[in-house]
Structure 1
Amino acid sequence: MNAPEAWRHLEPKIEAVGQRIRQLEWDSSRRNNFVPYTADGNTPYVMLDGERLLMMSGYGYIGLNGDTRVVAAAKAAIDEYGTGTPGVRALAGTIPLHEELEEEVAHFLGRESALVFSSGYAGNVGTIGALCGPGDTIFLDKLDHASIVDGAQLTGATLTRFRHNDPGHLDRRLAAAEPGGTRLVIVDSVYSMDGDIAPLPELREVCDRHGALLMVDEAHALGVIGATGRGIEEHFEYKVRADIKVGTLSKAVPANGGWIVGSKPFMDYVKRFARPFLFSAALAPAQVGAALESLRILDREPERVTYAQRESARFRDIVKQAGFNTADSETAVVPLIVGSDQNAWDYASALRKAGVIGLPVISPAVPPGLARLRIAITAAHSRADIDFAIDAFVSAARQTGLLS
């Protein structure tokens, strides 16, 4: 039977994706995406096909995934509230633990109030949608996360891009924009594929000059930058503030969920106009419990942040001296840029044979010709782990012809 006409239009796209996967993953040893790793306790190692491998591309920046205190908090939340919530937050879905987590997020980040979403993606889409609509203008850094771009596009507002980390170009974009409506500038605090930091003081100055709001996404900044892991404002010694701060509970914090912080009136507004918050199921109790305990541990143990910052700087220095291109990374996120998508896949596959997982990021997630392994240094990695990984990175790069 012939496929319906609608499917015939999709078949070439589906086949193109399948062909691309087959070109990269012609053997099981070359499978580098959607791999079901099994965590090896509270360590940076994973189990795969009976092998114990060092994970160097995970998000757990402060080393709490599998921490017994966090696990116990998640179990306690299940014991008290069950495995799910009976509705959305506006109706039957709110539990006391949600409000306790929101108080902790607000306290940790120095704001009056907070709101917790079911994911960081939903947090960005919902917040941007609550802020802007037709007649408004949104200005996005060229490398902003997909959730920011999608959220901006869905609003119906005018969308303008500016060059990455270029306040001067933003200044010209704002000056050339049509007057009227809300003007919202959105940047990542730490860029997830490059590991560089937004120039907050200069961006703040430009936004103030043009009467624009400044929103920062702290997904890869919480637990990563600032003396105690409180993000970009602490990184710049609280000399300037963002108008709107959002982030996740799934990067440094080993749970799920997104957050936004601000004044209580602003949070009351967002919870009623952010559609992904209003119409999505509430965050599950186990995730709330894990996130709450993780934030409390981070508050008590800032040395986790200091260690990861120190070791990531050491890692960057060594791999750069070895000849790797790490772009403008200055955080725990360190790209090893290798050029073509094929190079990245070959390199990741060779690295796995050396006992280390370094995962490839290819186009369209990054521009063509800038494929890379996205490496993350965490508080769970010992110096010995990092040194072992460095040796593997260098030897696999030589084996695949990426280093001489």
Structure 2
Amino acid sequence: MNATEAWARLEPKLAYFRDRVRSLEYEPVRKNSFVAYTVERDSAYADQDGQRLLMMSGYSYLGLAGDERVVAAAKAALDLYGTGNHGVRALAGSTPLHEDLEAEVARFAGRERALVFGSGYAANVGTVGALVGPGDTVFIDKYDHASIVDGCKLSGATVTRFRHNDPGHLERRLAAAPDTGVRLVIVDSVYSMDGDIAPLVDLRKVCDAHNALLMVDEAHALGVIGATGKGIEEHFDYEVKVDVKLGTLSKAIPSMGGWVAGSADLIHHLKYAARPFLFSAALGPAQAAAALEALRILQREPQRVEFVQREAERFRGLLHAAGMSTVDSETAVVPIIAGSDTAAYDYATTCRKNGVIGLPVVTPAVPNDLARLRIAITAAHTTADIDFAADAFITSARECRII
């Protein structure tokens, strides 16, 4: 086989995404993927090709991405450590800054120890792979994040899915599966597409009744739910506790990286068994310092969490009053259902004309006919911003005949 023939065999795979994107972004004004935005550090606005627009699909939930204190911490770390580390954490890559960040994460999560990965994706893949393998069984919510799904597939464990937020279906799945090996149930705290919350108390009861551990991804929960932003356990008034708790440092915490928190034995095991941690370079010093400072600010300024929760509820109310659907959202993540993939792109394009950025999420990330704009309410928004955005989304929906 020559190179030309080899590439010809690959062409159908290359053509899929090329044609798929072209069908939705067939003119420049409809471009929504991989768009470069110049964000304003002191507001929720961003520049796109010279147009100042209100960003309503960003994930800096606490509004700390441009905070001077966070920026100063990152600069100080650069001055002290430089731009990178000397390798993986197990060898020359660890610094006191990493240890300080992990200690702060552990305190915040209410656990003995924590471990910081290079990304939230790596944290999920690495943790799952270190906990289960052939002979074990993983039970995952139908809407779990791709990093959870990928981690399960790579682990070699038997993977069983259960209906979204349905503890009864999970119980039937557990009862039907062999009660051998490690049994691990994994859910998101807050689901990134619908903005709903996992029924933690009922899930914990099911797990306890069927010899299963419970792992929860707090990526969209930290800084968003719970009275002070500590996530799903606080949201449910600490009625129950999860076995493995992890999340990201790139959403409410405006940096990079992922974290896992748990017992000292668990974290010691992950240090040596989680391959994405063991074989990846250490988190950069600027990112570690920014994450540490943002986490401390979150604990000092719970009013940021209160604002996000209050304004998200108000925003949903404005949309509902206009007859718009936000599915089961109860958090800062607010989906606005458009219908077909093309309808979502039409809607996003019209919203930009009306001054707001609402980015479309289409199949296969969401079910057919449930393509949407995925909106995120943040502490960077003002109440006036929320009013303006709601009006723009409603006006655009009428123009697109969504309502």
Please report the TM-score for the alignment, with normalisation by the length of structure 2: 0.99
Look up the equivalent residue of 2:353 and give its one-letter code. K
- Unaligned 5+ residue runs, structure 2? none
Q: Structure 2 vs 1, CA of residues 321 and 93 (structure 1 numbering), >3 Å: closer, same or farther? A: same
Q: Extract structure 1 runs of 4+ deviating beyond 6 A.
A: none
**SS across alignment from 2:185:** strand
**Does residue 272 of the first structure (1) align with residue 272 of the second (2)?**
yes
Tell me the residue number matched to 1:115. Answer: 115
1:6 shift after superposition: 2.6
Query: Quick check: 327-336 or 23-32, which moved more?
Result: 23-32
Separation of aligned partners in 1, 2:335 and 2:3: 43
Q: Distance in 1 between matches of 2:242 and 2:231?
A: 11
**What are the within-5 Å matches in structure 2 for residues 236-385 of structure 1?**
236-385=236-385
State the SS of the aligned residue for 2:12. Answer: helix
Counterpart of 1:106 in structure 2 is: 106
Give the C-alpha shift of residue 97 in structure 1: 0.2
Query: Hey, what's the Cα distance between the residues in 2 that align with 1:162 and 1:391?
Result: 38
Give the deviation of 1:288 after TM superposition. 0.3
- Count the aligned residue pairs: 403
CA distance in 2, matches of 1:82, 1:332: 36
CA positional deviation for 1:39: 1.0
Aligned to 1:63: 63
- Tell me the secondary structure at the aligned position of residue 7 of structure 2: helix
**Gap runs ≥5 in structure 1:** none
Aligned to 1:150: 150
Q: 2:226 matched to which residue of 1?
A: 226
Question: Aligned with 2:365: secondary structure?
Answer: coil
CA distance, structure 2, for counterparts of residue 19 and residue 161 of structure 1 = 31
Post-superposition offset of 1:178: 1.2
Return the letter of the residue paired with 1:315.
F
1:4 — aligned with what?
Answer: 4
One-letter amino acid matched to 1:231: G
Contact 1:218/1:231, CA 8 A, preserved across alignment: yes
Contact 1:73 1:290 in 2 (8 A): yes
- The letter for the 2-side match of 1:368 is N
Q: Percent identity?
A: 68
Name the counterpart of 1:167.
Answer: 167
CA distance in 1, matches of 2:22, 2:211: 51
In structure 1, C-alpha distance between the alignment counterparts of 2:153 and 2:16, rounded to whole Å:
26
Whether 1:200 and 2:200 are equivalent positions in the alignment is yes
In the alignment, the residues of structure 2 paired with residue 118 and residue 43 of structure 1 have an alpha-carbon distance, to the nearest angstrom, of 28
TM-score normalised according to structure 1 size: 0.98
Distance (whole Å) between structure 2 residues aligned to residue 159 and residue 362 of structure 1: 25
Q: Deviations over 1:46-92 (max 9, x none)?
A: 11111111000000111101000000000001000000011000000
Report the RMSD for the aligned CA atoms in angstroms.
1.1
Pair 1:397 & 2:381 matched: no
Distance in 1 between residues matched to 2:163 and 2:224, nearest whole Å: 24
Match status 1:133 vs 2:133: yes
